[in-house]
Amino acid sequence: MKKEQFEQFLQAHEKRIYHYLLTLVANDNDANDLVQMVFISFYEHIDRVEEPTSLAYLYRIAYNKSMTFLKQKSRYVNLEPHSFDNLPDTNRPEPEPDYSALRDALHELPPRLASVIHLQYYENLSYKDISAQLGISVKAVESLLVRAKKQLRQKLLRDGRLGRV
């Protein structure tokens, strides 16, 4: 396409592209801004555009520009400054959770069950490593862990301490 044809092409398709962009961005001012960007981009590449495909090329530019615009627009929060007044202060460190109920319940378990829980969750040992350390089979480790967890859960529920864990 030739640069001399641009003015006529612009006048013929400006409203059409505007309405297309308006359906995509749903804002009159944004659509007007995008129309300008689309036609500037089209003009910059007019030498590469063939006349039969020029309208399709224009629509493709419009679509790409609108998607880029919407993606960039979604990164920004459009709120009034006073709406930030009630946000929590994230610079304060979170208070440490109270695990005292869990520790107490662990101390009440039989030593064999408590040791399996300790090795699994505090020392991060695998079932195989636990079985080697305690001199029992892997199946026995699995069984002990199931029993230990069940007893812990029962103790915490019975004492009403589960809500604090």
Q: Name the band, by pLDDT with cuts 50, 70 and 90, for residue 18.
A: very high
**Could you tell me the pTM of the whole model?**
0.48
pLDDT > 90: what percent of the chain? 53
**pLDDT tens sequence across 32-89:** 999 999 999 999 999 999 999 999 999 999 999 999 999 988 877 677 777 767 777 6
Q: Do domains 3-73 and 100-164 have the same CATH topology?
A: no
> What's the angle, vertex CA 91, arms to CA 88 and CA 95, rounded to 5?
85
**pLDDT tens sequence across 132-157:** 988 899 999 999 999 999 998 988 88
Q: Are 60 and 42 in contact (CB under 8 A)?
A: no
Please give the CATH topology (third level) of the domain spanning 3-73: Rna Polymerase Sigma Factor; Chain: A (1.10.1740)
**pLDDT tens sequence across 103-123:** 888 888 888 898 898 899 888
- How far apart are alpha carbons 66 and 37 in whole angstroms? 10
The closest of 50, 51, 25 to 38, measured between CA atoms, is 25
Residue spans per domain, the chain: 3-73, 100-164
pLDDT > 70: what percent of the chain? 93
Q: What is the CATH number of domain 100-164?
A: 1.10.10.10
